[in-house]
């Protein structure tokens, strides 16, 4: 189906914050993308409009049954001024996988990418340029039908909003402390753990709060059945280097298929470092720690790219990894991937998409 994306430019432009004030998700650009779905009509009326609140009926299904999905990716400003996206096709593909699980109608992935490029073009001056900054992109879909029956909505909105964000590491990449969660669980196979849907994040807040109170920055989730096998960190996938070999939990239906995870796996394979995607238990990590073969641990995700793990708190134990310092592999992979994302070096074909000049 051929679509025409309408563009309504904002008359008043906001004042842009200075790069050092950005933080995460505090400021929004001048425009947003919006598109509607009505049963019988399909997705329609794609448009870029001034950034504005939306009005919904209090009975809208999103408020009651949580039928929503979202994505997160970034646009980077290269040193030569070009605006670069990292594997955006995979985000829209994943959005559609989440849609399947949440009974939300499929999007045309090419249209979604075109919509993003149109929106970015209108707000291109919002992509910050200081080291470590970027424009965070949040595509999302919500169920808008006003009806309280528990059934898939007949109406939806697909939106994209943009937020300039600061450097994740103010003083360069540094290790985080993580709490291994033994009481709460996030997801089980057959549930919605592999989908990027709001409820997964709501369900994780309580554990996150308790971990924060104890001085840990995030939680490491264990599997929901045995509380034994490692799943993922709050908003990151996780990797361990044990005795020269890299291990990451396999995609088992209850963790997110991270785009950074996938990219890091490819880079590790290119470096000819042995790597395994498989089930890995906390006991195995602990045993490696005790016998001195746990060399590194790190998380991967769009926000920080790589987060070295300096300490894991599990039961009554504190596992200090790599003396609480960033490991060589984590540092190398961080440099490699951020250099590709910023267009300093060439990555595998199709990874970097340049925003065309208007």
Smallest distance from ligand PMP to CB 70, Å: 9
- Please count the other Cβ atoms lying within 10 Å of the Cβ belonging to residue 328: 12
6-24 core/surface letters (b: 16 or more CB in 10 A; e: else):
eeeebeeeeeeeebeebee
Smallest distance from ligand PMP to CB 276, Å: 19
User: Does 163 participate in binding ligand PMP (rule CB under 6 A)?
Assistant: no
Smallest distance from ligand PMP to CB 42, Å: 28
Smallest distance from ligand PMP to CB 316, Å: 27
User: Does 72 participate in binding ligand PMP (rule CB under 6 A)?
Assistant: yes
Q: Give the residues across from 60 on adjacent strands.
A: 146
Candidates 29, 68, 218, 235; binder of ligand PMP (CB under 6 A) is 235
Smallest distance from ligand PMP to CB 55, Å: 29
User: Does 254 participate in binding ligand PMP (rule CB under 6 A)?
Assistant: no
Site for ligand PMP in 73-92 (CB under 6 A): none
**What distance in Å separates the CA atoms of residue 80 and residue 164, rounded to the nearest whole number?**
19
# of chain residues touching ligand PMP (CB under 6 A): 13
Comparison of 144 and 237: residue with beta carbon closer to ligand PMP? 237
Site for ligand PMP in 287-326 (CB under 6 A): 300-302
Give the binding site for ligand PMP (CB under 6 A).
72, 232, 235-237, 256, 258-261, 300-302
């Amino acid at each position: 189906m051929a679509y025409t994306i309408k563009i309504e430019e904002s008359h008043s432009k906001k004042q842009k914050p200075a790069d050092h004030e950005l933080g995460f998700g505090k400021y929004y650009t001048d425009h947003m993308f919006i598109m509607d779905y009505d049963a019988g009509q399909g997705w329609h009326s794609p448009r870029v409009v001034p950034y504005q609140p939306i009005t919904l009926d209090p009975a809208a299904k999103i408020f009651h049954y949580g039928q929503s999905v979202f994505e997160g990716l970034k646009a980077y400003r290269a040193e030569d001024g070009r605006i670069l996206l990292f594997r955006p096709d995979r985000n829209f593909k994943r959005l559609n996988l989440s849609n399947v699980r949440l009974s939300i109608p499929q999007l045309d992935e090419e249209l979604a990418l075109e919509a993003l490029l149109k929106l970015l073009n209108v707000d291109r001056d919002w992509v910050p340029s200081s080291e470590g900054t970027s424009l965070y992109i949040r595509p999302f879909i919500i169920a808008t039908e006003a009806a309280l029956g528990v059934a898939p909505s007949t109406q939806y909105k697909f939106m994209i909003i943009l937020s300039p964000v600061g450097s994740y590491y103010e003083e360069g990449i540094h290790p985080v402390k993580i709490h291994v969660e033994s009481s709460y669980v996030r997801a089980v196979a057959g549930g919605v753990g592999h989908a990027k849907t709001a409820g997964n994040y709501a369900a994780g807040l309580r554990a996150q709060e308790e971990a924060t109170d104890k001085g840990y920055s995030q939680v490491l989730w264990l599997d929901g059945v045995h509380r034994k096998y490692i799943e993922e960190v709050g908003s990151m996938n996780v990797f361990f280097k044990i005795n020269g070999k890299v291990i990451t939990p396999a995609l088992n239906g209850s963790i997110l298929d991270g785009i950074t995870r996938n990219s890091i796996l490819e880079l590790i394979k290119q470096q000819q470092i042995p790597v395994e995607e498989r089930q890995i238990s906390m006991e195995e990590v602990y045993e490696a720690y005790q016998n001195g073969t746990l060399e590194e641990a790190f998380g991967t995700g769009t926000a920080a790219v790589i987060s070295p793990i300096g300490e894991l708190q599990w039961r009554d134990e504190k596992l200090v990894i790599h003396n609480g310092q960033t490991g060589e592999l984590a540092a190398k992979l961080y440099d490699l991937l951020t250099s590709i994302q910023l267009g300093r070096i060439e990555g595998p074909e199709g990874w970097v998409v340049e925003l065309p000049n208007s």
